[in-house]
Structure 1
Amino acid sequence: MFKRGRSQVVFATFLTLATLVQGLMVKQVPQEKTVAELLRRVKRGWVWNQFFVLEEYTGLEPLYIGKLHSDMDQGDGNIRYILSGEGANSTFTIDDSTGDIHAIQRLDREVKSQYVLRAQARHRVTGRPLEPESEFIVKIQDINDNEPKFLDGPYQASVPEMSPIGTSVIHLTATDADDPTYGNSARVVYSILEGQPYFSVEPKTGIVRVSLADMDREVREEYQVVIQAKDMGGQMGGLAGTTTVNITLSDVNDNPPKFAQKLYQMSVPESAPVGSVVGRIRAKDRDEGANAEMTYRIIDGDGRDTFDITTDPTNLFGIITIKKTLDFESKRSYTLKVEGSNRHLDPRYLNKGPFSDITIVHVSVEDVDEAPEFSAPFYYAEIPEDVEIGTIFKTVSARDPDAANNSIRYSIERTSDPGKYFYMDITSGALMTVLPLDREEIAWHNITILAMEMNNPNMIGSVSVAVKVIDINDNPPSLTQYYEAFVCENAKAGQTLGVHRCSSDNSAWILTRRGGWSQREQSVYHLPILVTDGEPPVQTATSTLTVRVCSCDADGNVLSCSAEAYTLPASLSRGALIAILACIFVLLVMILLMLSLRSHRKKPCLTDEEENVHENIVRYDDEGGGEEDTEAFDIAAMWNPREAQLGKLRQDMMPEIESLSRYVPQVCISGGIMATGDGNVHSYVLSKLYEADLDPCAPPYDSLQTYAYEGEGSVAESLSSLQSAASHNDHDYDYLNDWGPRFRKLAEMYGVIEANNSLW
């Protein structure tokens, strides 16, 4: 190897020596030299060489590259050779005495193909340059040490299915790092190792092509092809590299759609709203992506006006929806003829048949228990405000729309009639009044009527009834405001005093009937005015017009409407005036005192903490006779209500019972009517109950006298905790506040009223 390298260096030296020397000579001649001077030979001191060296030297000794020599070198050792430039002293070294150059490192042309160095000869002792510094090049010769490489592999490619033979799939390129200008080290040839007979590759270009016709994606979709690239023109001994190409057959629309079933059965409840989904169908396609997208339409059937079909967002399924309201009682089933077809067609494959399919969809309507329906969407009624209670003014009707036709019950929604003015007959639907109506209070009543099935209380229908209360002439007219008028002292008969208006905006003119008015005689006149309306029954009202007598100027303008002050008689002394004022003061004090006493007797409810009931109890400092006390009412009458008519009445209660009996209503007890009699304990108890309802904060003082202390021989034992030996707690003085419930319990105990009676 070393000898071969030296022979190439020597051969290259002789080939390039003349050219290099001539180039250096031309380079050093200035432009202003004459032709004769250019032709004169310039003496050079170098024995010049251009050096070549093979890459990838693997010997143990340094690789000899060449030799530098100056003709000034006499061989006496006075010349010293110096090397500088790329790789000097690191990759290349020079023997400073002989000028021999060696490579001390392994060279790789693919890393660096040439090195530019500089050499100079100097005197060894003085260091003076003997020759100008010159450049030379060391070129690295290539050997076939790199295989072809596919830098972007492995590759992904696709080609449409059913593509014809020769269709290009992908263009591959392998890169060889060797020198393409030297030998065949970088000349690559392509071949296919795997993937026949489906694909092939062009040897020189590396283009992969289809080599088998009618490849079907639905049969096989993925293929793996292995391609080889070999240098040295594919000859034996060349280096090779491989790569993989994954080829996918892309889909084309070459398959028609097909429904999985020729008949679909679906059902939907009749209560489903418009727009509800009934079901979905699909015509499947062996293709994929856009080639499998479908469009659906109803082409025939008795349900084409009742149902609709659309394509879902994936463009695969047909969604059947309701277009019109369903009614089980009217029609119980529908038939639809549906067509599904491809959305995108490929003209190249239309000869394979129609790209659509047809199926039948049968839709059954299910019966649903529906709420009752009224005969009208709403009702309107007019009632005079003086209509008699119990008058039927409107009748509504509802029916069960189901085939069962269940019975209907009617009622008024509670919140729509808070005043409970109306009553609805539960079976007939008749609407009547139960309270007097007043147009001036409520002119319109908007109530809601409910209709409920007897067999299914959850099925409830509703309707609105607008009730207009018609006005009748039941209110007397009245003046819109308080009016005052004036008359001038110099007014004459027939003169207008002023205008006075009624509630209907009618006008009345007030005229004088005489003249000669005087403030001194009478400064104010109160004129009664009778106001009458014109509709039967005629209503009248009386109002008073205040007319003041005023002094006026000649034009009728008011100067003063107050009477002139009179001067006091001269005989009235100051003492008399003081006495009159003192009398007035005393009179005012007496009036205030009477008002204070009156307000003291009419105290409000016992809400003040200082008004302790204990003080009232202390006043009763003597005991009665218990059951022997004949002055109080007989307690035995409460044990047997029948004896109440024969019992001895308490005299101090009789006036109160008589006065209250006018206000006690009749009360139903156990299905009968209990009248309020003067001597009846029932009446007395009910009177007290009614009094408690009207004034719930008034304590029962009479009851306090009766039950606060017990008499001798009481069969009820003690009703009070006062001075009880068994009581260790402080007495609760608040028992008056809950005496009402005790009184009720006592009344229930003796059978006066029923338990849970709503009168209390």
Structure 2
Amino acid sequence: MNSQEAAKMSNYVILWICFVVQIHLYPCVQSCFPPSFQAMAPEDVAAGYVISKVNVAICDSKVERFGSSDPDFAVRADGSIVALHSTRIPAAGRAFSVWAEDSNGRQSKMDIHILQTLSQKVKTGILRRSKRRWSPPPLSIVENDSLGLPKNVEQIGSDSSSQYKVYYGISGPGVDEEPVGVFTVEPSSGMLRVHKAVDREQYPQFEILARVYDRYTNQETDKPLPIKVNVIDQNDNAPTFAGSLKFSVLEQKADAVVGQINATDRDEAGTDHTKIRYKLLDGNDLFSIDSQTGVIKTKTASLDREVKDNHLITVEIRDMNGAPNGLFNTATATILLKDINDNPPLFSKSSHSVNVKENMEGETLIVRIPVEDKDLKKTPNWNSVFDITKGNEQGHFRIERDPDTNEGLLYLTKPLDYEMGKTLKLEVQAQNEEPLTGTQATWASIPINVNVEDVDEGPEFMPKNLKLRIKEGLPNGTIISHYTARDPETNSSAGITYYELSDPASWIDVGKTNGELKIANTMDRESDFVKNSMYNITVKAVDPSAKTSTGTVFITLDDVNDNMPMLPTHDLVLCEKTGQLGSVVLVAEDKDENPFSSPFLFKLIEPEEGKWTLNKLNDTAVTLQQASELPTGVYNVPVLVTDLQGFGDTQMARVRICRCQYNQCVASQSSVALGVGGILTMLLGLALLLLLCLLAACACAAKREKLELKDDLWSGGMLLKSNTEGPGEEGSTLVIVPTSGVEQSVKGSAVDNGTFGTMNTMNANSLAGAWQATPQPGLQQSSAAGVMTKDMIDMNTSSQYDFGGKGMDEVFLLNQRDAITLHTWRTNGIFLDMKLNYLATGEEARYADDILHTYNFEGEGSVAGSVGCCSDQSQYGNLDFLNTLGPKFKPLADVWNKK
């Protein structure tokens, strides 16, 4: 060591002494900074760039201000050195000082030397070297070594020092990066020093970068050298427990694995510092632990959960492979014993006895059966399962478990009968949901005595339901059986009376004193009261004490051949098709069962055999087909139908041959369907109309004046021409009505003024002898529809009236004896004339069918038929024919309905 280095060393010692003295005697800010600090920065530094960070954690809290001698840089309270402005770092570096000042004005100063980060190669023209020579990597320090700090670690040097005047600088973790201030280097000598104790578990290695510079040019004289400083481990960390210390194991299990203790050590792996050994400090009589793996096992099968359900043991973990000088920790582990079903449920009592009244309704709780089980509650090992092992052959009882108390609940499900047994002995066994294990015990059972108490009962039918089988059609008064009841107390039927509760068809009489069942009305299997050949009645029995009971009689009716196969009674429609022979299907129905039913035999009866043929379709149906084309109309075809036993009769198959539309007769679609009520209403209306006309005629005859008719003009009668059927004119008057001014006699061929009232010109061509009145010029129409007055006709113009070449004396011959007839004629003429006028003013569609029409001839067998068919006596009062009267009947019905 030269004199210069010795002087520097003495200065450091003096500074260190002063620093220690100030720390202990005069605490101030002088302890904040190391005396010098080096940092690296790029050539161009932007504003806000953090150059490095100095550890100021030891600064006194009384520091009020930090300062810098360089206006471009400042130091913050956290020790960060930052650029205040954009600036440039020269190649030679930049040096300045920072300080911290307290309230008393005392300062702590630190020199900072910022070196430029080398960003380009050193020019070969300036520096020439043949090889790089650094020494001596690697380096190491001992963790937690705080004695004699700072300490020299190693001197670093470069061979370039032989050619240049150099100085050294370092950077990286432990220098200007966290943890800051651990290492420094003496710039001139390259001595690397450590200033702080280091925890290996936090910083196991430091990798710092060493540089060497020319003192005059500040140019690097050698490439940067990475230096690794390893921190040597010390056994400063005791092992710690990891994971849970709660374990469980089944009771009564030897050498069963309980669990494993896990431990960790922060010291260096692979050394004795982390080799852990495990040890039980207590509980060694029941458990063991593997010293290397920490696995805990049971040592005995005597662990009983019902005695003690958990155990606490103390475990020690020690490093240094268990050596006495090793660091250690202890903890308490909890071991829970899991339950096994080693205890069967035991009954609290040795037996049970219970009294039950006979005939008590079912689903009644009669006794609770408590049990005790030492196993863990609310688990399958504790839950009881009860079973009635004896005495319940008739199913009167059931047993279940109370989920809250674990008791057995014995229920009565069916009423008991004292007469059948006074005492029932049951045996109930209790088990668990899980089978027994780890024990020699077995399932326990207990006897239960059920005492039946006698109750005065009503009579009982024997049997409760009586089944009988008889033939249908038995004669009235036939005894089919006896149905009696008895008193269970006395086993006697004395004094018991019987009544019918239900007999829907009233077919059975029940003997009041002896329960005799007798046919009251003939039983018919085909009746609606019979379902599936079964008929039921209910009988009630009443004893002297008014107690009752009921019984049911099920009567099965055997079939007899009392029904012949029947053809349908409705019309079978056969649609007429030109050139084709149509057919219909005849389906017969027999209410009897086999062998009194199908297959049926069908046979045509004369004289229909030549018109029709039969073809079998199946056992119950045949096809009835035309043998030749037949005209439209209704045909009654006699067919003999018999069942399998030959029982049957000839029946009429009613077939309607017609023209069809949509498979229906056209006549049936266009005809008016009138019921019996409609026909009767129409006939009643017609009768009332006729009566009204007669009353009107009588009234007019009572008030008329005497008619004076000349005998030489009239013959005393009324002659109407009726030998022409030419069509009349629409809207004309059909009747010539004499007025009340007609005299009682008419003589000669001249017509006296006042003899006749208004008359229109008589048309000899009027239909059915009616006179059609045609208005003539010079005639004035009367205010009464269709009637003209005497003043409106000039009898001298006789040429205006056409009488068919005959004189009026030949046309009208009225005498005094025909006055009433004449008056009736006038009255009817007025009514008809008003009616025709009304029809002429009505809607065309409404009254179009009320006038005469000309119809084409439709030939024989026309579907229209005739209105005269209403008088057909072959139907014997059957009004169904009104539905098929045809088109001619519809206008008459429409007119009547509109009235």
TM-score (norm 1): 0.46
Query: Which entry has the higher C-alpha Rg, 1 or 2?
Result: 2
TM-score (norm 2): 0.40
